[in-house]
Chain A
Amino acid sequence: MNLVNFAYGLLLLLAAFVFQTTLTGINRKVVARLQRRRGPKFYQQFIDIFKALSKGSTTHGWVFDFGVIMALGGIMATAIFIPFGPLKAVPGMDNIFIIAYVLAVGMLGMAMSASGSGNPWASIGVSRALTNMLAYDIPFMMVVFGLIFAFDSSSLSGLAAIQREGGLLGWNVLRFPLGGIVAMISLQGMLGKKPFDSFIAPAEIASGPMVEYGGRHLGMLFLLHEYSTFIEVSLIVHLFFGGGATVLEFMVKYAVIYTFLNLVSNVLPRFKIDQAVTFFYKVPLAMAVVQTFLIIFLGMGVA
């Protein structure tokens, strides 16, 4: 660890921001086309974020501010760990468990800040978000567990490299199709897209955790959202789609997956929170357990 790493990390953060925000904008356009609208400009997301940052804001006490800073800080730190294709700011730190747990700092900060506003909608939203997390994370972690056992590595780039050795068929999504499906469903939950978006339901609980945010706080939350999307989609790209030997390859894979999930999201209604939990525990978790069982006990797809 030296200054170069930090500078590198900062650059990666910037790149991730630009990339993901542009992609979000493009996706808004794609969704609009899906709904036969023209849609906003592809840089609309940038405008939204910068506008939010430029506005005045209110605060409900130090924990409201601190939580947001902690959340964005934690998520940014996580984003630094994520390899951007072949680029890594800090070598040897892309351990999947580290990322999974570091990601939680951001979640916790956000949840803390939201509850700190004193608004019960926020607390309800947080309660739903956490319940949702308990639902989608376990099947995902289970599949990841199987992968780690199969390849004796918990490094993102390491796992990606192993897949690339096998060419297209080496991709884990093809080797372990059940696990791949589980991961995609879980990713949908992680991103908070329909049908798993009940925690920000604007019409029921006034956008849940975000209810009290305005101005710079809201802007930072948007940044946070972009980064966490980047982290989560990157995880899947690395774990199941062979990562990226080049930056371009990574970006293409990333964009395709993200757009696909967005399209899926836009044709689905919304689950109630308990329905989401039941669904995740019935279908993806069962699939994940079967997949892991196949990997560990039968060695299917490993060799």
Chain B
Amino acid sequence: MTTNAKDVRKTWEKIADYFRAHSIWMKWYCTGCGAIEMPPTMTSRFDMERLGMGPMATPRQADVLLITGYLSAKTLRRVIYSYEQMQDPKYVVGFGSCTLNGGIYFDSYATMTRLDHYLPVDLYIAGCMPRPEAIMNSFDTLIKMIEKGEAKGWKHYQENHEWYRRNQLHSLKEVYVKDEFHE
């Protein structure tokens, strides 16, 4: 009985995953330097819309959180907040070496060194900077991953929320901070 129900659900999920794979709406979190690689990816040379990809204005509408470049402690808090505002299923793509291992800022007092410690990264795009070809290639991978149901970062985050939260608190002390401008 249970297996049956799981199967039905799986079919439904499969169809949904097909849609999700071919309609990738992104929220770009571009406080680092990588944002400049996105326009060529969008425009006629590479045309990411043909894969159903496109930028979105708010995290509520987006499926993919694309984080380009380094993240300081301060921006990391905002990224986590944005990620939590996104709707399931959601995917995180780390863009550039800085998200991967801190890049040239590995020893900075302000920038974190690995994103997957705080958020479930489904895919990294290495390089400093990765060129549009690399972006297109990696998104092709992401599409395949989603289609196969392998991009399960959001589930991982739900299931291991404690662990992520502990890491976040270790590095940031608090995620939701107050500052004087919003008092």
Contact = CB atoms under 8 A, between A and B. Distances in A.
Interface of A: 28, 32, 35-41, 44, 47-48, 50-52, 54-58, 202-203, 206-207, 210-215, 218
A203 B49 CA distance: 18
Contacts of A218: 60-61
Interface size class of B (residues with CB under 8 A): 20 to 34
B65 to A, nearest CB: 13
Given A206-B58, A213-B61, A51 B20 contact: yes
Contacts of B85: 58
Interface in B17-58: 19-20, 22-23, 25, 43-44, 47, 49-52, 55-58
B60 A37 contact: no
A207 B58 contact: yes
B49 A202 contact: no
B87 A54 contact: no
A55 B58 contact: no
B21 to A, nearest CB: 9
**Which 10 residue pairs of A and B lie closest in terms of their CB atoms, listed nearest first?**
A214-B60, A51-B19, A202-B57, A207-B57, A56-B88, A214-B87, A37-B47, A54-B16, A36-B44, A51-B23
Given A35-B44, A214-B86, A58 B60 contact: yes
Contacts of B57: 202-203, 206-207, 210-211
Contact of B88 (A32, A55, A206): A55
Interface in B47-103: 47, 49-52, 55-58, 60-61, 63, 85-89
Interface of B is mostly: loop
Contacts of B49: 28, 32, 37, 39-40
Contacts of A51: 16, 19-20, 22-23, 63
Contacts of B58: 206-207, 210-212
Contact of B87 (A28, A48, A56): A56
B161 to A, nearest CB: 16
A213 B25 CA distance: 13
A39 to B, nearest CB: 6
Contacts of A36: 44
A210 B62 CA distance: 12
Contacts of A47: 19, 22-23, 52
A67 B146 CA distance: 32
Contacts of A35: 43-44
Given A47-B23, A206-B57, 9 more contacts: A32-B49, A37-B47, A48-B52, A51-B19, A51-B63, A54-B20, A56-B88, A56-B89, A212-B58
B50 A37 contact: yes
Contact of A211 (B44, B60, B89): B60
A38 B50 contact: yes
Nearest to A32: B49
A39 B58 CA distance: 23
